[in-house]
Chains A and B, each alone.
Chain A
């Protein structure tokens, strides 16, 4: 971030590189139950991001010392594929993905009713197949859908979006170039109904006013994204998607 560049990220008309306005988010598509083996799963495409999430559990927590006698432990694992970014990423956990796994686990723990199943763990495997900025909140948004499809009891859905500062303007949902060459990035996730914040991180600098504006924009966007989550979940249970109604014949 803050890398000097002569690239114009927002043109004179206020249009961003990919043709979006300040408060426009990239197109989002979520598909649920894409994996046969997992208890719940989701595939998300958010702009150029492609993320697969699989949820297993609740199941007895192993190794045993990780068990919590009072609640379930959510173990999220965020992993980027070696081919997910321009330059090959060395496979395996690193500083960044360990941190993201941690913040995602904590954000999800705030939503899941973990007190209901002591001594268990819920595994959330997040595989970033293609990365294009904003993967942590995209992962979190998709993970929440996967948890719901796995039938895990939750207080609320988790939904996130990022905002940031580019060319001295506050814009929503940074793209890869805006993230790399912009001035600040603020990923944030909330519980979709109560708007309680479960994740905020900031890279770069924002003034108090800018921060307020950015969070306000994110909060507004989460309503739109939450609607996409709900559509994605209920799609599989539409009347059109019931099994063929021709049992009379054959």
Chain B
């Protein structure tokens, strides 16, 4: 098989970037003279309108409107403290859940160790953030069963693909249910065999996120794994 993969242009912190006629978006630092330099060690991604530096690694910083997967770390009288793999813990208030909660006994709805798929409701100047489960139509919920995987947050867009093409391909081929949080946590549910194949696919996407021709590679990978997949959707 001919290896047609190529690596996108790699940049290092401090490298000059010439956006040309594109608009500089993420991962660049603008100095006082208006010159752009890379903030990260990562790849340069030129889109139709924007140019971004996509780091190879890095932690997640909550932004309003992001849908994330979090792990409940602590239960208070009226709030849960949730870890969203960010430097800062986030909070989930009992009034932001779809349940009829009463202050003092919210443990029966969510306890430490549970995972939730939630939306970032608010982030303030000192990076405190609040998440919510109360928004219909987005599939926000407590995640029951399934398996959790983690990838670096900057690789999430690659994992999802254009309009969800990448993740949908994995979902369809492996008969699993997959939820991806913007923060890099991934929830996979299905029969054990299928979850294994799906998680292998996720690991492959993660390790080659900086190469081109990824979609073809994943198609091929999923085809090769067809024998291992259980056709039952559980």
Contact = CB atoms under 8 A, between A and B. Distances in A.
Interface in B1-43: 1, 3, 5-7, 10, 12-16, 27, 29, 37, 39-42
Mostly, the A contact residues are: loop
Given A58-B87, A119-B88, A242-B207, A151 B126 contact: no
Contacts of B158: none
B87 A113 contact: no
A249 B223 CA distance: 10
A233 B41 contact: yes
B159 to A, nearest CB: 16
A215 interface: no
A156 B13 contact: yes
A151 B57 contact: yes
A57 B13 contact: no
A118 B125 CA distance: 9
B87 A60 contact: yes
Nearest to B125: A118
A118 B29 contact: no
B7 A238 contact: yes
Given A117-B61, A191-B14, A247-B217, A155 B211 contact: no
Nearest to B221: A247
A153 B30 CA distance: 13
B196 interface: no
B208 interface: yes
A247 B220 contact: yes
B126 A154 contact: no
B10 A248 contact: no
Contact of B55 (A117, A151, A229): A151
Contacts of B154: 151
A1 to B, nearest CB: 34
A136 B181 CA distance: 41
A118 B127 contact: yes
Contacts of A245: 1, 3, 5
Interface residues of A, number: 43
Given A117-B127, A237-B210, A243-B208, A154 B13 contact: yes
A115 to B, nearest CB: 11
B87 A151 contact: no
Contact of B57 (A40, A59, A234, A248): A40
Contacts of B208: 242-243
Nearest to A58: B87
A116 B59 CA distance: 12
Contacts of A103: none
Contacts of B87: 57-60, 117, 120
B204 interface: yes
Contacts of A51: none
A150 B61 contact: no
A150 B58 contact: yes
B150 to A, nearest CB: 12
Nearest to B207: A243
A69 interface: yes
B89 interface: yes
B152 to A, nearest CB: 7
Contacts of A230: 12
B10 A237 contact: yes
B10 A157 contact: no
Interface in A197-250: 229-230, 233-234, 237-239, 242-243, 245-250
B163 interface: no
A193 B14 contact: yes
A248 to B, nearest CB: 6
Interface of B: 1, 3, 5-7, 10, 12-16, 27, 29, 37, 39-42, 55-59, 61, 87-89, 126-127, 152, 154, 204, 207-208, 210-211, 217, 220-221, 224
Interface of A: 39-40, 57-60, 69, 111, 113, 116-120, 148-157, 191-194, 229-230, 233-234, 237-239, 242-243, 245-250
Given A155-B13, A245-B5, A247-B221, 6 more contacts: A57-B59, A69-B126, A113-B29, A118-B126, A155-B14, A193-B16
8 contacts: A69-B126, A148-B12, A151-B41, A153-B13, A156-B37, A194-B14, A239-B211, A243-B207
